[in-house]
Copies of this chain bind each other. A is one copy, B any other.
């Protein structure tokens, strides 16, 4: 089965007109008589003529569309981001074409190659597996407007929008400390991910500032980034099997899926939150406020992030040449404290808990 659309050439033959006459009539050119115009337009409607966008693109070297490279489609954070982008571009009259990399470098390269020349610009979030960014660098050097969002790429000088992962993790950890936790664990996604590293850095700083010494065994990364439940399960088992004095009383999960899976694990094994383990995690999942115990989260401004990144790309699309200065927009995630990490009721209790730690830095 193959698509065989009506072309201008075909219509010209049918109507006994020149190709350019038909083209101009369809564009309502003033140099075509009303009679011919009507004849052409009516006929075009009758046969349901659709201009071939491929041919238009080839000629105009302009597509009026942009591409979004997304890691995991099936991830609320990602889809919220895309929603923000979509609405911004829709307003600007651009079509949006989305491709998924599923965290695979190979898919990412294919996707980018696929989109090159098909779109006027690219919004990219690097897949976690990706090491080299030569494919993107080269495209960028040839003038393709690219904006990075969320998982940025420092090698390529361009606009980017991301969350303040460091501070999100820092504040979440501080909150756990404030709740009296002293043995705070960290379960991230893939160790290779810069954003996971930043989150770990925030976590470490918060502990350091509070004068808490970190145990290596409290920190876990997940080889495949936590796509499957079993990865988180293994990490949780390792944490909870530590000897009593090392066993964590607080946990920061640094990846949406990992947060959900850690929560599931704790519920399945009847480990009470926050009494046995206080949990807070990065998450943009819906319904986290209705699970029981309700889940404390570091929630990114996902739609906003999408909108801001979209604005940056639109700016690149409109500017004649590469800008001299690039912006990096950083959005602060929201720390939402709920039952899963709330041990102490009052602020004063909290202050007392923190002040008990010796060697804590003042902020």
Chain A residues near B (Cβ < 8 Å): 1-6, 48, 50, 52-55, 57-58, 61, 65, 73-76, 79-80, 82-83, 86, 90, 95-100, 102, 107, 110-111, 113-114, 116-118, 120, 138-139, 142-145, 260, 263-264, 267, 285-288, 290-292, 316-317, 319-322
Contact: B53 with A145, CB < 8 Å?
no
Contact: B58 with A114, CB < 8 Å?
no
In the A-B complex, the 9 residue pairs with the closest CB atoms: A292-B292, A3-B144, A48-B138, A98-B98, A290-B291, A74-B79, A95-B114, A97-B97, A1-B145
* Min CB gap A233→B, angstroms: 15
Closest residue on chain B to residue A75 by CB atoms? B79
Contact: B1 with A316, CB < 8 Å?
yes
Cα A86 to Cα B6 with chains together (Å): 30
Contact: A58 with B54, CB < 8 Å?
yes
Contact: B95 with A96, CB < 8 Å?
no
Contacting residue for A288 out of B82, B144, B287, B317, CB 8 A: B287
Contact: A263 with B290, CB < 8 Å?
yes
* Min CB gap A264→B, angstroms: 7
* Min CB gap A82→B, angstroms: 6
Cα A207 to Cα B286 with chains together (Å): 32
Contact: A117 with B5, CB < 8 Å?
yes
Contact: B287 with A143, CB < 8 Å?
no
Cα A110 to Cα B102 with chains together (Å): 27
Question: Which chain B residues border A287 with CB–CB below 8 Å?
Answer: 260, 285-288, 291
Contact: A117 with B53, CB < 8 Å?
yes
Question: Which chain B residues border A80 with CB–CB below 8 Å?
Answer: 74
Question: Which chain B residues border A83 with CB–CB below 8 Å?
Answer: 73-74
Question: Which chain B residues border A138 with CB–CB below 8 Å?
Answer: 48
Contact: A86 with B100, CB < 8 Å?
yes
Contact: A120 with B3, CB < 8 Å?
yes
Contact: A114 with B53, CB < 8 Å?
yes
A96-B100 contact in complex given A79-B73, A118-B54, A118-B118, C-beta closer than 8 Å: yes
Question: Which chain B residues border A76 with CB–CB below 8 Å?
Answer: 74, 76
Contact: A142 with B291, CB < 8 Å?
no
Question: Which chain B residues border A48 with CB–CB below 8 Å?
Answer: 138, 142
A-B contacts, 23 listed (Cβ < 8 Å): A1-B145, A1-B321, A3-B116, A3-B117, A3-B142, A3-B145, A48-B138, A54-B54, A54-B58, A55-B58, A73-B86, A74-B80, A86-B102, A90-B107, A95-B114, A96-B99, A97-B98, A98-B99, A118-B118, A260-B286, A287-B291, A291-B292, A292-B292
